[in-house]
Every structure is written in C-alpha cells, then in structure tokens.
Amino acid sequence: MNWPLIRKNGKNGANGNGAIIHMDGITKVYDTGKVRVEALRGIDLSVQKGEFVAIVGPSGSGKSTLMNLIGCLDTPTGGQFDLAGEAVAGLDRDQLADVRNRRVGFIFQNFNLLPQISAFENVEMPMLFGGVSKKERRERACELLERVGLGNRMDHKPTELSGGQMQRVAIARALAMNPDILLADEPTGNLDSASGGDIMTLFKNLWEQGGTLVVVTHDMALANRAGRVVEIRDGLIVRDTANAA
C-alpha cells in the first residue's frame, strides 16, 4: 500500500532535532476557584518523525488532556511545546486552530462523520475548507478511499456503512490535508474485534510507509502494534518503552 499524500519528513515537518512533538515540563492545571486539578504534572515527551506511539493509562490519568494538547485543542499551563517545529504554548485560539488545521489529522472513537453526506464528500470536506481545487480534492478523495479499501463505497452515507467502514472513511478524511501527524483517540473503541484488527493493520501499514502516528487507547492489542508505548498515571509519564520489532 502506498500513501503518497502523507507529508514526508522534511524541513517543514519537524524541529531541528527531528521531533514532530517536543514537550518539556508540560503542566496543565484546571482551576475553577473552588477546585484545583493538576491534570498534567511535568510531562517530558518527544515523538520523532515516522514514529508510531501509543499513549495508555487508566481513566483520569491525564492521557486525554495530553491528547488535547498535542492536537492543539488546548494550551498548557506551563512548559514548552513545539509541534512540527512551531512553538505552540501561548498561542491564542485562532493561532491554535491554524496550527491544528495544517499539522494534525484527527481520528475519533465515534468517527465524527457528517451523516447526511457521502463517504466521498466527508473525505472531501476538509480540502474544501482548505482551499484545495475541485479537481485535486476529487482526485485525492478517490485515491484515499481506494487505499483504505472503500473504492466501492464512495457514494454511501455513513448510515449505510459498518463501524469498521466508517472508521476507514475517518482515516481517509484525516489524511486529506496531508498532515504531519495522525492523532487517534480510541480508534478501535466502538469496533468489534475483526474490524478493530483491520484498523490496526491500516495504522501499521501507514507507519511502515513513513507516517507519524500518536494513538490514545485502552486497547493493549493496538498499543502492542505500535513502535512505542507511553504510559501515563496521575499526570506523569511512568513508562516509555519500545515494543519488540
């Protein structure tokens, strides 16, 4: 399988040390005035270009907070965070959105597809908003759906697809704008074991062809297919190990 639309690792895809993600002393505090919660308590994390990293941990460990920071959905309270060579800490909402749209492709547990339009149109949508020409976005949407095995389902709406097929559409959509990183939140959480296995294989293939993936998951079968597992507990990284090849 070939993924020609994944951004290849180059000057615009990483900082000087080759890290797509570089976090140093990251903290995140939620303070309502009555309750103060330290969700992250000093995270040091680097993800190199071309890595496949699984982030695991129990509920309340801070992994969802970390995912939101990596995806530029939120900003840290303290510390330094660079995404693909751009300093993210301290950006305002509009600046965050700009970095997010250019750098990150999202894959969600609940797919987040628009139910009233076809699989093809769902994949095409981010390119429409991204100013890609009609010819290019049609070619790219077709190619991506073919490559996730849905060339014969392009005109089907999400309600006409299985859970595994919907997640394949979501993966194609995440790839549409040629992101530096794919960020997946529990991508197999709503799938049966067979469909989940298919999605794991897609991720593994994408990684082997040079993509950079970060997956937040409770699914240890998926985590064990990654190249590296980072475990978080109580807002701290307690384990960071490479999986056997």
| Pair 102, 178: CB distance under 8 Å | no
pLDDT on residue 54: 96
Does residue 15 carry a pLDDT above 70? no
Does residue 149 carry a pLDDT above 70? yes
Give the other-Cβ count within 10 Å of 37's Cβ.
Answer: 13
pLDDT on residue 130: 87
Does residue 193 carry a pLDDT above 60? yes
Does residue 17 carry a pLDDT above 90? no
Token code pair at residue 238: 């307690």
Q: How confident is the model at residue 32 (pLDDT cuts 50, 70, 90)?
A: confident
Does residue 11 carry a pLDDT above 60? no
What lies within 8 Å, CB to CB, of 53 at 6+ separation is 47, 213, 214, 215, 226, 227, 228, 229, 230
What lies within 8 Å, CB to CB, of 162 at 6+ separation is 195
Q: How confident is the model at residue 111 (pLDDT cuts 50, 70, 90)?
A: very high
Residue percentage of the chain with pLDDT more than 90: 71
Does residue 5 carry a pLDDT above 90? no
What lies within 8 Å, CB to CB, of 192 at 6+ separation is 163, 164
CA torsion angle 104 37 232 219 (round to 10): -70
pLDDT on residue 129: 87
Nearest to 100 by CA among 61, 63, 130, 64: 130
Does residue 223 carry a pLDDT above 80? yes
Does residue 235 carry a pLDDT above 70? yes
Chain position carrying tokens 């801070």: 62
Alpha carbons 77 and 191: distance in angstroms, whole number:
35
Strand order in the sheet with 78-83: 36-48, 19-31, 78-83, 86-87
User: How far is C-alpha 205 from the chain's CA centre?
Assistant: 15
pLDDT on residue 142: 96
The three state secondary structure string of 56-70 is ECCCCCCHHHHHHHH
Please give the helix or strand (H or E) that residue 242 lies within, else none: strand 236-242
pLDDT tens by residue, 93-107: 999 999 998 899 999
The CATH class given to the 49-72+103-242 domain equals: alpha beta
| Pair 212, 206: CB distance under 8 Å | no
